[in-house]
Amino acid sequence: MASPLLVVNGPVRTQIGMNAGCNVFGSGNRANATIGRAVRLMLLNVGGGWPGLLDKSTLGHPGKYTYCIAENEEQSPFAPYHVEKGYKAEDSAVFVLAAEPPHSVTNHFANDPEGILDSVCSAMSTICNNNAVSGGHCAVVLGIEHAQTIAKHGWKRHDIRHYLWAHSGNLWKDLYCGERYGKVYNRTLPVWYKREPDARTPIVPSPDNIHVFVAGGEAGRFSAFIPGWGRMSAPVLRALGGAAPAGGGAQCVDGTCYL
């Protein structure tokens, strides 16, 4: 139950009129919808991913019609995502991850980073999402109010990633469900994951596997957790025009970064 999620950064967002604000995951914006739909048509007509043929998904995903947003750089209290990854602010870049639909995170009461992020951790720690049983990468989209509350306490993106990684996850005894999961999924988890019943099993192998964005309208204390497709999907960040991140990097080839 996954579809390619696209998150766009840089000047191209405003140049083509993308929506990064209210209703960012919803309908009503031609640019967002057209980009997502174009990706879907390529998957169908180039990749052959027709439902019932190569695409044998049990339930499917509404994002297969379109699953494309822009980061709200103007109202975000943090540097844009692609800048954190080494690109220039004037570069435009696209992040892609095979992902589940957004899981809503509602917290209208906390006025501190820990309180808000504990709610995100709760959403991340459901036993049956793809990350819980097979690692991989995931995304978190912070709403504007949540992001600004976190930032005013001096927290940066790396603080958010590390907190989420350290405080989400499940006890191994709950995850393996009387060894039923353990027999099937043990081989998909990193060898350093502890197998003791009361040991915490992280949602993803590293804090760097949690990709944090800021998007949405300025009113409303909502965010979203977006599980990836477990270890079966690796995210990609590519700059338009082939621009490379500052200093290059072992994971970057011809401007494409495998995160």
Taking the C-alpha atoms of residue 77 and residue 36, their distance in angstroms, rounded to an integer, is: 27
Task: Find, among 215, 210, 224, the residue nearest to 71 by Cα.
Answer: 215
Q: What are the residue ranges spanned by the domains of the chain?
A: 3-168+203-258
SS3 assignment, position 48: coil
Q: Is the pLDDT of residue 12 over 50?
A: yes
Average of per-residue pLDDT across 151-165? 98
User: For residue 192, what pLDDT is reported?
Assistant: 60
Taking the C-alpha atoms of residue 78 and residue 155, their distance in angstroms, rounded to an integer, is: 9
Burial class for 197, CB neighbours closer than 10 Å (0-12, 13-18, 19+): exposed
User: For residue 25, what pLDDT is reported?
Assistant: 97
User: For residue 130, what pLDDT is reported?
Assistant: 87
Taking the C-alpha atoms of residue 141 and residue 216, their distance in angstroms, rounded to an integer, is: 9
Residue 250 binned pLDDT confidence (cut-offs 50, 70, 90) = very low
Average of per-residue pLDDT across 88-99? 97
- Which residues are 210's β-sheet partners? 138
Alpha helical stretches, state H, the chain: 12-15, 30-45, 81-84, 113-124, 130-134, 144-151, 157-167, 172-175, 180-185
Average of per-residue pLDDT across 175-198? 63
User: For residue 178, what pLDDT is reported?
Assistant: 66
Task: Find, among 30, 31, 36, the residue nearest to 5 by Cα.
Answer: 36
How confident is the model over 106-143, as pLDDT tens digits? Answer: 999 999 999 999 999 999 999 888 888 788 999 999 99
What angle, 0 to 180 degrees and rounded to 10, lies between the N-to-C axes of helices 113-124 and 157-167? 50
Residue 257 binned pLDDT confidence (cut-offs 50, 70, 90) = low
User: For residue 32, what pLDDT is reported?
Assistant: 98
How confident is the model over 187-240, as pLDDT tens digits? Answer: 556 666 666 778 888 899 899 999 999 999 999 999 999 999 988 889 999 999
User: For residue 246, what pLDDT is reported?
Assistant: 81
User: For residue 243, what pLDDT is reported?
Assistant: 87
Average of per-residue pLDDT across 3-15? 98
Task: Find, among 247, 208, 209, 240, the residue nearest to 9 by Cα.
Answer: 240
How confident is the model over 31-78, as pLDDT tens digits? Answer: 999 999 999 999 999 999 999 999 999 999 999 999 999 999 999 999
Q: Is the pLDDT of residue 249 over 70?
A: no
Residue 186 binned pLDDT confidence (cut-offs 50, 70, 90) = low
SS3 assignment, position 90: coil
Taking the C-alpha atoms of residue 198 and residue 235, their distance in angstroms, rounded to an integer, is: 31
Predicted TM-score (pTM) of this structure: 0.91
Unique residue bearing structure tokens 């590293």? 206
